[in-house]
Amino acid sequence: MPSLSVHAGGLDLKNPVLLAAGILGTTGASLCRASRAGAGGVVTKSIGSVPRAGHPGPCIVHVDCGLINAMGLPNPSYKDFQTEIDAARKGGVPVIASIFASSAEEFAQISRNLDADALELNLSCPHAEKYGSELGRYPDLVESVTGAVKAASSVPIWVKLTPNTADILELGLAAQRGGADAVVAINTLKAMAIDIETGYPILGNRFGGLSGRAIKPVAVRAVYDLASRLEIPVIGVGGISSWEDAVEMIMAGASAIQVGTALLQGYGIFEEITSGLSAYLERKSITLEELCGMAGRCS
| Active-site residue list | 125
Cα of first residue to Cα of last residue in the chain, in angstroms, is: 29
For residue 60, give the DSSP letter.
E
Please provide the DSSP assignment of 195-212 as one string: -TTT--BSSTTSEEEEES
Q: For residues 63 and 264, what is the distance between their CA atoms, to the nearest angstrom?
A: 14
**Contacts within 8 Å (CB) and 24+ apart, 265-269:** 265/241, 267/33, 267/34, 267/37, 268/37, 269/241
Dihedral pair phi/psi, residue 121, rounded to 5°: -85, 115
Burial of 140 from C-beta contacts in 10 A (0-12 / 13-18 / 19+): exposed
Using CA atoms, how far apart are residues 259 and 39, in angstroms rounded to an integer? 9
